[in-house]
A and B are shown apart, each in its own frame.
Chain A
Amino acid sequence: MQHTITVLVENEFGVLSRVAGLFSGRGFNIDSLSVAPTNEDTLSRMTIVTRGDEQILEQISKQLNKLIDVIKVIDFTDGSAIEREMALIKVTAEDVSRAEVLRIVDIFRAKIIDVTPKSYTIEATGAPAKIDAILELLRPLGLKELVRTGPVAIGRGAKGWKG
């Protein structure tokens, strides 16, 4: 079962290695991890996509909470959060495929951010499933390079949570 966990941490040196080390040391999976400071500059926010059965996910949350530098852990259940991910995609674009790439970019409301006679570089944002979908269409046309941020997530509704 894949889960998206958001972790609010002290913006201090070594925090990332504590979190990453916890996952590797206890054999938990990390599918993706993104981290950056929040609106409060002493805080950073991590979004971790992980997988495991119910007992493992419970342990992951508890173990994260046990770290001194972790202030809050939220395990977003289905539908309770909005997830967005960005991908930068370099595709071959020559002859006939040039127009096809543009059509795909248009359908997915993505953007071309760099052009050469032989390639397009695309910026796409959306839920991870949408990124998967655009990649599936672009792959046969010649995917040269791919960078994904991993998703970030925010809870639905009016309530915002901080430290």
Chain B
Amino acid sequence: MKMNGARILLECLKLEGVETVFGYPGGTVINLYDELFSFKDIRHILPRHEQAGVHAADGYARATGKVGVAIATSGPGATNTITGIATAYMDSIPLVIITGQVPTALIGNDAFQEVDIIGITRPCTKHSFLVKDVKDLATIVKKAFYIARSGRPGPVLIDFPKDVQIAVTEFEYPESVDIRGYKPTVEGHPRQIEKAVSMILASRKPVIYVGGGVVLANGAEELTALARKLGAPVTTTLMGLGSFPENDPLSLGLLGMHGTYCANMAVTDCDLLVAVGARFDDRVTGKIATFAPHAKIIHVDVDPTSIKKNVRVDLPIVGDVKGVLARMLKVATEQSAKVKEFAKELAPWRGEIEAWRTKHPLGYKPSTSVIKPQLVIQKLRELSDPDAIVATDVGQHQMWTAQFFQFNKPRTLLSSGGLGTMGYGLPAAMGAQAAFPKRQVMVICGDGGFQMNMQEIATLVQNRLPVKIIILNNNFLGMVRQWQELFFDKRYSQTCMELPIDFVKLAEAFGAKGLRATKPSEVEAVIKEGFTTPGPVIMEFKIAREEKVLPMVPAGASLNEMVLNA
């Protein structure tokens, strides 16, 4: 059937299984929006800023595992998407971003609202396409979705000129794609996998170090089964949280800069580190020269560039993490007796770890006069649904959430790990809520990050997305303030948010509900009321202003040089 480019794009999205898109209209996508007006198979959500639109698509993708889709117009619409795209790129989140572009004849002429968005986003997209001919459109969309979701996932941008949206051609959606330069390695090498299992069985102090790759590959089940079979302790990165239940005794919790004492000590002391879908980020390793100094390293990752980028690796396995873990599990099951014996022999190692855990558990000094942020996080866990989705912003509250919330299921934590994007949380929660209208979705943020995208309360109210917004308000840019306290003689340069905002009134101005707690005794009541109030709710907690995230490995220090009390 003959259709114009705008319609073809929508048909392609539908065939890719896209149900919801987040977009903002404008001059160069007006034809696309005109087609959308009568296209009933796709739900469109209008954010109040293109950045939030991309974060929402990102939150949608993280919560569902599907490709998130965002639309923006050319020029400023396109440039507003960049932070969202870079956030998704750093955390390997599958997105397709469609930007309008000036008509092909005008490209390069400094036309109104023209920007070279392909050029600008080149370093933060997995790939990008400029559609020059409507005949190529369907193939490009097919390729874009395939590239976004396969291998190491990531954002793909399609720049879609206005005249191509209008041009008409026969629509036929290709059934398959073949990109000769793109053949991601899916299956891990069987011999390497067998070798990995032998290496594990030969170790006495193994640690499994799990990153976001396990979540992305839907490998949590395999990982959990393998770790339990081996009786091997598991530590996760921020991105890996939820891929191994934190209520399991084998869980060490978070490692790295704000990791637990037992996780960081275990990694420093282990004789074998099994890295799965993790990339040895500097926030995880601390000083690289003293990271896991006694350990042999097995590294499983779908992206060959991750391997040996930051650390030496003794056994690399390139492949889909889920498949590799399943195969490892199978190999381990085949030598059941040996594995059982091995798991038993790890008892002293687990004992050492328990001693570390008991010596310095995660904790804080409780108070009856002022609200401790950690208390709020613990109460949120206690009073929320087991499958609740939690988005965070970036900063202290993010680390407190990572430390104290206890994530037991994958895809329940949405957080900007790699780029560390303030303002991410609220729109990401919005995206997740759009995907799961019935599930409890909350965003935990600070007063700083919240203000970076607070306009999105309007989107929540308009679209009846009942996201619960928890603001841990210390009137500071808390994490930077913490660094200034510890490393810059308490010179609080520009980190004090002096203006006290009435967040309750703010919520009301948008037509949402606002609640506030100023004393520890009010925390539980506010959370209960917030969770049971229909629609979006802001819950503001006035917290201890100078509370710190601890433990902390100072930047550039070794993991075992944690600041425990400061």
> Is chain B's binding surface mostly helix, strand, loop or mixed?
mixed
Q: Which of B123, B147, B303 contacts A21 (CB 8 A)?
A: B123
Stretch at the interface among A6-14, A75-83, A104-112: A6-14
**Is A70 an interface residue when CB atoms closer than 8 A count as contact?**
yes
Residues B308 and A68 in contact, CB atoms below 8 Å apart: no
**Is B309 an interface residue when CB atoms closer than 8 A count as contact?**
yes
A13-B309 Cα distance, complex, nearest whole Å: 29
**Is A144 an interface residue when CB atoms closer than 8 A count as contact?**
no
A67-B304 Cα distance, complex, nearest whole Å: 12
Nearest Cβ on chain A to B140's Cβ, whole angstroms: 12
**Is A163 an interface residue when CB atoms closer than 8 A count as contact?**
yes
Nearest Cβ on chain B to A17's Cβ, whole angstroms: 7
Interface size class of B (residues with CB under 8 A): 10 to 19
B80-125 CB contacts (< 8 Å) to partner A:
118-119, 122-123
Residues B305 and A68 in contact, CB atoms below 8 Å apart: no
What are the residues of chain B within 8 A of A163 when measuring CB–CB?
A: 180
Q: Which of B119, B126, B181, B303: most chain A CB closer than 10 A?
A: B181
Residues B303 and A66 in contact, CB atoms below 8 Å apart: yes
What are the residues of chain B within 8 A of A17 when measuring CB–CB?
A: 119, 122
**Is B487 an interface residue when CB atoms closer than 8 A count as contact?**
no
A25-B181 Cα distance, complex, nearest whole Å: 21
Q: Which of A10, A17, A62: most chain B CB closer than 10 A?
A: A62
Residues A55 and B308 in contact, CB atoms below 8 Å apart: yes
B263-311 CB contacts (< 8 Å) to partner A:
303-305, 308-309
**Is A69 an interface residue when CB atoms closer than 8 A count as contact?**
yes
Residues B119 and A59 in contact, CB atoms below 8 Å apart: no
Nearest Cβ on chain A to B497's Cβ, whole angstroms: 34
Q: Which of A14, A59, A70 contacts B181 (CB 8 A)?
A: A70
A-B contact number at CB 8 A: 39
What are the residues of chain B within 8 A of A55 when measuring CB–CB?
A: 308
A62-B304 contact in complex given A21-B123, A68-B127, C-beta closer than 8 Å: yes
Residues B181 and A67 in contact, CB atoms below 8 Å apart: yes
A107-B16 Cα distance, complex, nearest whole Å: 66
What are the residues of chain A within 8 A of B126 when measuring CB–CB?
A: 68
Residues A18 and B122 in contact, CB atoms below 8 Å apart: yes
Q: Which of B126, B130, B147, B304: most chain A CB closer than 10 A?
A: B304
A13-B303 Cα distance, complex, nearest whole Å: 25
**Is A58 an interface residue when CB atoms closer than 8 A count as contact?**
yes
Residues B123 and A25 in contact, CB atoms below 8 Å apart: yes
Proximity bits, B120-138, A CB within 8 Å = 1, else 0: 0011001110100000000
Q: Which of A13, A63, A65 contacts B130 (CB 8 A)?
A: A13
Q: Which of A10, A65, A69 contacts B304 (CB 8 A)?
A: A65
A23-79 CB contacts (< 8 Å) to partner B:
25, 55, 58-59, 62-63, 65-71
Q: Which of A10, A68, A71 contacts B147 (CB 8 A)?
A: A68
What are the residues of chain B within 8 A of A71 when measuring CB–CB?
A: 180-181
What are the residues of chain B within 8 A of A69 when measuring CB–CB?
A: 181
Nearest Cβ on chain A to B186's Cβ, whole angstroms: 15
**Is B179 an interface residue when CB atoms closer than 8 A count as contact?**
yes
What are the residues of chain B within 8 A of A58 when measuring CB–CB?
A: 308
B175-189 CB contacts (< 8 Å) to partner A:
179-182
Top 10 nearest A-B pairs by Cβ distance? A71-B181, A68-B127, A62-B305, A68-B182, A25-B123, A62-B304, A70-B181, A21-B122, A71-B180, A69-B181
Of the A-B pairs whose beta carbons lie under 8 Å apart in the complex, a sample of 10, sorted by A's number, is A9-B181, A10-B181, A14-B128, A18-B122, A21-B123, A59-B305, A66-B304, A68-B179, A68-B181, A69-B181
Given contacts A68-B147, A71-B181, 11 further A-B contacts (CB under 8 A): A14-B118, A14-B128, A17-B122, A18-B122, A59-B305, A59-B309, A66-B303, A68-B126, A69-B181, A70-B181, A71-B180
A residues with a Cβ closer than 8 A to B are 9-10, 13-14, 17-18, 21, 25, 55, 58-59, 62-63, 65-71, 163
B residues with a Cβ closer than 8 A to A are 118-119, 122-123, 126-128, 130, 147, 179-182, 303-305, 308-309
